[in-house]
Amino acid sequence: MINLDIARIFDEIADILEVKGDNPFRVRAYRRAARTIETLTQDLKVIAERGGVDELKKIPGIGEGIARKIVEIVQTGDCKKHRELTRELPPGLLEMLAIPRVGPKTIAKVHDELGVSSIAELEAAAKQHKLRGISGLGAKVEENILKGIEQYRRYRGRKLLSEALPRAESILEELKKRDAVERITIAGSLRRMRETIGDIDILVVSKRPKEVMDAFTSLEGVEDVVAKGDTKSSIVLKGMDVDLRVVDAGSFGAAVHYFTGSKHHNIRIRELGVKRGLKINEYGVFRVDTGEKVGGENERDVFRCVGLAYIPPELREDRGEVEAAQENRIPELIELKDIKGDLHVHTKWSDGKNSVEEMASTAIALGYEYVAVADHSPAVGIAGGMDEAKIKKRQVEIDSVNEQFEGEIRVLSSVEVDIKSDFSLDLPDDTLKELDVVVAAVHSKFTQDKATMTKRIETAMENEHVDIIAHPTGRILGKREPYEVDMERLMEVAKDTGTIMELNSFPDRLDLNDIHCRMAKDHGVPIAISTDAHDAMQMRDVIRYGVATARRGWLEARDVVNTRGMEELLNLLKG
Ligand code: DGT
Ligand code: CA
Ligand code: CA
């Protein structure tokens, strides 16, 4: 967590320096440090506390100045340079930096040449085609800026699940230490594990709300106290909005249900209550005629009072869960402990950070039975892809790791083969045939029309060696829209060809999404929940987001191939 916070600070420093036209070497130094820190497998805080500036400087890409700033951030939770720079830059320019695909250089240009200093002004300038007069900018840039602004507005203020969840967990851990806190839980969209989160909602049972609120508003990292009262307070903590409510023990269950939402789900539950002569609100369940309280201490009371089986939070979106609970057919949702392996990770053989052996031993630590190393094929140029010769060399290493860890883990040899825009695969069938698992994915020409893109993926599915289609829509949350594709059609072809669809657990992908997962289940198409990890820590950390999304997609363990043991899994693959 702290590593990512520090990387974010250095990235912002680099952005601001670049907008200000500062020395490019300095800008690059901050960026390089941010990239290094992001993928560092050790905790910077631990390193800083143990060895200070000297030890930090041993990390490649971290010089004296940056090492000092890391120590400062670790000790004070803040960076003076960052604060000063943020203050110097007009807020409008800072906000413009958050627009996807609009970099600091472009912002500096439009600011210097056109005096543009807010998103609204930038939008107007792009619409009036004023940007194409600036050297280095053109019609394409104008178009991209307008698209970027639209995306920015759609996601504005929403954070990835992976940013909100660890933050919320550390708030809970901190507040649990206080005697005044009797019970505490996460509510809202975060408890429902939505892929993006507007604000974090927390509920507490306490007889001494003032103490709880004091502790809450003075947590480390609080940037603003928006409201502070006895029953509700709101803060901004490291850029995230957090609401905390204190309720009575007797209302806890009703409050948890109410504030977990979703709003649409709550409305359905209240309607069912009305039919039974019950009033349901955040304080409890009450009989309308007598006013008597018939439940509210536990969340299960709410469902019981309206004749429903318990509905897990991830399903509470009014997508048929109420009917399912009435008919006692709520699925037994997959859990993290059901996962027996990872079918898509990268190693040093392409763009991963760890060796086959390191990935294998992490997989053992996770209690897995298998891990498929799916390094890139050559067409994905930047990723240092593998040609046939490289695959053969890697196989020698895989064999030796399998020997070393015999009986503990099985490393499956795999590739993430590129599906090229001309529909062909980036490696010949003879090579694919030799692999244990073949993962195929689109990495280029995202703008092909829907029919073409659908046909492109269909063609890959029809290949007798392709087992899994990775990140089937290509979206990157907040950055890249999914390419257009006929998902119903793909599900039919997947079913017919025995192809597995991936649920990529990377927090900004979650691709397939929840709705697509459910579509797959309805079509009888199996899902692989994979991490696409580029280092060992990611393999460990991101799988939970994939499992959460699978749960939102109503998936049970039996719908997911990597809940099976090794032998059973091999039977589910083609060939
Ligand atoms: P978010 O924060 O945008 O990701 O989404 P939520 O679902 O966390 O929404 P939030 O934080 O505004 O409110 C938390 C929960 O409180 C929400 O899921 C349901 C409940 N809630 C809030 N306002 C209303 C309302 O007007 N009616 C009903 N029935 N429930 C509400
Ligand atoms: Ca919320
Ligand atoms: Ca809220």
pLDDT digit string (tens) for 199-211? Answer: 999 999 999 999 9
Q: Is the CB of 262 under 6 A from ligand 1?
A: yes
CB 419 within 8 A of CB 457: yes
pLDDT at res. 567: 95
If you take atom 28 of ligand 1, which residue's CA is the nearest one? Answer: 263
For 167-189, what is each residue's pLDDT tens digit? 999 999 999 999 999 999 999 99
Q: Is the CB of 197 under 6 A from ligand 1?
A: yes
CB 8 within 8 A of CB 97: no
Q: Is the CB of 266 under 6 A from ligand 1?
A: yes
If you take atom 23 of ligand 1, which residue's CA is the nearest one? Answer: 263
Ligand closest to CA 188:
1
Residue 403's pLDDT band (cuts 50, 70, 90): very high
Burial class (CB in 10 A: 0-12, 13-18, 19+), 447: exposed
| CA of 314 relative to ligand 1 center, distance in Å | 14
pLDDT at res. 534: 94
- Alpha-carbon distance of 187 to 261, in angstroms, equals 8
- Alpha-carbon distance of 446 to 421, in angstroms, equals 9
Q: Which residues have CB less than 5 Å away from ligand 3 (the ion)?
A: 199, 201, 243
Integer CA distances (angstroms), 68 to 2, 22, 264, in order = 16, 20, 50
- Alpha-carbon distance of 108 to 102, in angstroms, equals 11
- Alpha-carbon distance of 401 to 331, in angstroms, equals 39
| CA of 209 relative to ligand 2 center, distance in Å | 21
- Pick the closest to residue 376 from 342, 350, 396, 355 (CA basis): 350
- Alpha-carbon distance of 126 to 139, in angstroms, equals 9
Q: Is the CB of 563 under 6 A from ligand 1?
A: no
- Alpha-carbon distance of 384 to 212, in angstroms, equals 52
**Closest ligand 1 atom to the C-alpha of 199?**
2
- Alpha-carbon distance of 25 to 290, in angstroms, equals 74
Q: Does the pLDDT at position 480 exceed 90? A: no
Q: Does the pLDDT at position 216 exceed 70? A: yes
For 305-330, what is each residue's pLDDT tens digit? 999 999 999 999 999 999 999 999 99
Q: Does the pLDDT at position 1 exceed 60? A: no
- Alpha-carbon distance of 448 to 420, in angstroms, equals 11
End-to-end CA distance of the chain: 42
Ligand closest to CA 189:
1
128 by DSSP, 3-state: which?
Answer: coil
| CA of 281 relative to ligand 3 center, distance in Å | 16
Ligand closest to CA 261:
1
pLDDT at res. 382: 61
Section 393-401 average pLDDT: 98
Section 437-444 average pLDDT: 96
Domains in the chain and their CATH numbers? 2-155 (1.10.150.110), 159-247 (3.30.460.10), 252-326 (3.30.210.10), 336-574 (3.20.20.140)
Q: Is the CB of 263 under 6 A from ligand 1?
A: yes
% of the chain exceeding 90 in pLDDT? 82
Q: Does the pLDDT at position 546 exceed 60? A: yes
Q: Where are the beta strands (DSSP E) in 442-530?
A: 468-469, 500-504, 527-530
Q: Is the CB of 195 under 6 A from ligand 1?
A: no
Q: Is the CB of 261 under 6 A from ligand 1?
A: yes
**Closest ligand 1 atom to the C-alpha of 262?**
18
Q: Any idea which of 35-44, 212-221, 244-253, 369-378 has the lowest mean pLDDT? A: 35-44
% of the chain exceeding 70 in pLDDT? 99
Q: Can you read off the two tokens belonging to residue 534?
A: 């580029």
Q: Which residues contact 526 (CB under 8 A, 6 or more apart)?
A: 500, 501, 520, 559, 560, 561, 572
| CA of 200 relative to ligand 3 center, distance in Å | 6
Q: Is the CB of 299 under 6 A from ligand 1?
A: no
pLDDT at res. 100: 79
Q: Any idea which of 84-88, 310-314, 527-531, 532-536 has the lowest mean pLDDT? A: 84-88
For 264-307, what is each residue's pLDDT tens digit? 999 999 999 999 999 999 999 999 999 999 999 999 999 999 99
pLDDT at res. 418: 95
